[in-house]
Amino acid sequence: MNQIHRTGCKNRGESEETSGHPLTREKMDSEQLKRMESHKLFRLFYPESVALIGVSINTTYGAASFMQALKGFHYPEFGNLYPVNPRYAGKELHGFRCYDSIDSLPEIPDYVLCGLPAKNTPELIDRSIDAGVKFITIFTSGFDETGSSEGKTLHEELVSILNSDKNIDKDGNKRLRVIGPNCLGIYNPSWGLAYFYNQSKQKNGRISIISQSGGQALYLVNFFSNRGHPVRMCVSIGNTIDLDVLDILDFYRVDPFTKAIACYLEGFRSKEGRLMINLIEEISREKPVVIWKTGRMEDSLTAISSHTGALAGDAVIFEAAMNQAGAILTHSMESLFDTTSSLLLSHLPAPVHLKKTVTAPVKVYNKAYNRNGRAQVHDHIEVEGRAGPPQLRIGIVVSGGGFSVDMIDTFSSMGLKKAELSPETVKKMGEVLPGINTFIVNPVDIGDQGYHPDVFKKILELCAADENVNFIVTGREVERFAPFGIWLNIDDIAMKYVKAIEEVYLKYQKPVFVVVPHIDIDEKTHAERLKFLKMLRKINVPSFSTVERAAVAASSFKIHMRNRARMDSSGTRTK
């Protein structure tokens, strides 16, 4: 297939360019597309034919519910769809001819979704290998995650079939690859693949997700999409009897449209550790890899084992390994979203380096990092200039002393430092702000004067212009918009704040975070707040309901700056 042309469907031969498919809405290096198309998992995400095994007339569960999802997402425009159930063979089922078995299909399907009982699954896998099927998702549960002897026996039987000689090609690779068991498989709305018909159909996503839980996969797709960040792809991988986290990460690595990767992980197989560190280190030099790992508490370990059969492992060791690799760790769905979306939206700040003279045995970052991401070590040298890794130096502009203290306290607790404003910046701010109800240091308390859009913009711009600042945090309380709009005789004051933020952000190319507290929860205020948040999202500025959520997201920029410094120092990009 060349440049992702559609084949095997009613628009056979129609290209991306003529179909208006989202993959060609931006210019993309043809070499990047070739890399993706030549990847071993390409047909898993872009199948030209799909067979659903075990489809019944009940569309609320199992293979039939996936059938409804694929129809709802217009998969038949991309490839052929085949329901399989001997009970309905030769009849029309959900608008498509139903077949007796996988052997009776008019073509070899690229992708099969198995909704059979666990006891019947090994036979399907065996017959699929004989038929030449490339990929199967096993939706069915009832294997080793149950802890039962029967489940373990079925698991071992599947492993034996997949590792048998007939499933190994001349190059030593498996002919048939399996996702699951106990999972939902692939969500790729740009190619008509989905879990349920009522999921987000937006096709311009730039965040791709991996989830070891089917339920969390559903929640994450909805959570991200409903907050203005449609999901590019999502894979629910379940028990990982064959394809695992590493395989999916590697595909996201070469996908030019995936700009950030979010993962929900419960544990790993013992074989994955070192390989995962190496792969994440490679990916994170160009794309952020953000991980929400559960199983940190002892009481959750049993639940994880019974859920997907994964080994949760030692949380301390896991965190140390992922920090070494350059992954960004989070501990909730909210922080996973905040961190991933912020890194996607914002410019990476230019690093601020500490300037001082040092004479000692010291690690000096004269340039950045060596090829291995380690500091160059020199003995007893004296150097003036950069004496530390890239730093975030935050400028805070808010209305209210308590608000500013909360911000600096919370950001400091995350290891984030405030910038020291230059005397010139302080002098210029003093010419704008009165000496009453304001405080002209960092954090800058602009008081009630700061609710005048012109004043707000001037102080925000002075903060952004300071060379010691490379990251700006501000706050706006929607509850105060209406009264200040009346007092200042300004219509749509919210839009003026957004315009001020946008102009500063575009001019200085420094990340701007906006904290928008949810104080009043009446219907009218809630509607105004949503309107304001959507305006911020439209200009690619992240917003947060609490100071803590903003601080957690901001801390991820330190890690991503370090990862990019590794790439810049090596002079290479991910291939």
**What's the pLDDT score for residue 303?**
47
Query: 411-421 burial, b for 16+ CB within 10 Å, e for fewer?
Result: beebebebbeb
Q: Across the beta sheet with 231-236, what order do the strands follow?
A: 185-187, 231-236, 207-211, 260-265, 289-293, 328-330
| Single-letter amino acid code for the residue at 144 | D
* CA–CA dist 46, 39 (Å, integer): 11
Residues 207 and 98 in one domain: no
Residues 108 and 158 in one domain: yes
Please report, rounded to a whole number, the percentage of residues in the chain having pLDDT higher than 70: 82
**What's the pLDDT score for residue 405?**
92
- Confidence tier at 135 by pLDDT (50, 70, 90): very high
Domain endpoint, select from 148, 181, 214: 181
What's the burial of 359, exposed, middle or buried (CB within 10 Å: 0-12/13-18/19+)?
Answer: exposed
- Confidence tier at 26 by pLDDT (50, 70, 90): very low
Which candidate, 479, 454, 473, places its Cα nearest to that of 416? 473
Determine, yes or no, domain membership for 164: yes
**What's the pLDDT score for residue 346?**
85
Determine, yes or no, domain membership for 14: no
Which residues, in sequence order, are CB contacts of 454 under 8 Å at separation 6+?
none
Question: DSSP letter string over 430-474?
Answer: HHHS-SSS-B-SSSEE-TGGGGSHHHHHHHHHHHHH-TT--EEEE
Residue 369 pLDDT exceeds 80: no
Residues 399 and 434 in one domain: yes
- Confidence tier at 7 by pLDDT (50, 70, 90): very low
Determine, yes or no, domain membership for 571: no
pLDDT digits (tens, 9 = 90+) for 398-428: 998 899 999 999 999 999 999 999 999 999 9
3 state SS of 136:
strand
* CA–CA dist 186, 283 (Å, integer): 21
pLDDT digits (tens, 9 = 90+) for 116-129: 999 999 999 999 99
Tell me what the mean pLDDT of segment 174-194 comes to: 96
* CA–CA dist 77, 540 (Å, integer): 33
Tell me what the mean pLDDT of segment 464-482 comes to: 96
Residues 385 and 417 in one domain: no
Residues 65 and 138 in one domain: yes
Residue 154: which CATH number?
3.40.50.720
- Confidence tier at 13 by pLDDT (50, 70, 90): very low
Query: 387-397 burial, b for 16+ CB within 10 Å, e for fewer?
Result: bbbbbbbbbbb
Residues 400 and 529 in one domain: yes
pLDDT digits (tens, 9 = 90+) for 349-362: 876 654 544 444 44
Residue 184 pLDDT exceeds 70: yes
Structural domain harbouring 157: 39-181
Residues 305 and 435 in one domain: no
Average pLDDT, the chain: 85
Residue 4 pLDDT exceeds 80: no
* CA–CA dist 204, 23 (Å, integer): 8
Domain endpoint, select from 313, 345, 377: 345
Residues 214 and 316 in one domain: yes
Tell me what the mean pLDDT of segment 217-234 comes to: 95
Determine, yes or no, domain membership for 442: yes
Residues 175 and 210 in one domain: no
Domains identified in the chain, total number: 4
**What's the pLDDT score for residue 173?**
95
Determine, yes or no, domain membership for 570: no
Domain endpoint, select from 181, 211, 245: 181
Residue 87 pLDDT exceeds 90: yes
**What's the pLDDT score for residue 271?**
66
The highest-confidence range among 26-40, 53-67, 341-355, 481-495, by mean pLDDT, is 481-495
* CA–CA dist 8, 21 (Å, integer): 16
Residues 364 and 496 in one domain: no
C-alpha distances out from residue 103 to 8, 85, 202, 445, Å: 18, 12, 35, 72
Residues 309 and 383 in one domain: no
- Is the bond preceding 443 in cis, omega lying within 30 degrees of 0? yes
Residue 538: which CATH number?
3.40.50.261
Tell me what the mean pLDDT of segment 521-529 comes to: 93
**What's the pLDDT score for residue 534?**
95
Determine, yes or no, domain membership for 366: yes
Determine, yes or no, domain membership for 11: no
Which residues, in sequence order, are CB contacts of 95 under 8 Å at separation 6+?
71
Which candidate, 333, 253, 240, places its Cα nearest to that of 291? 333
Give the global pTM: 0.84
Determine, yes or no, domain membership for 34: no
Rg of the chain, C-alpha, whole Å: 27
Tell me what the mean pLDDT of segment 470-481 comes to: 96
Which residues, in sequence order, are CB contacts of 211 under 8 Å at separation 6+?
217, 220, 234, 235, 236, 237, 263, 264
Residues 209 and 294 in one domain: yes
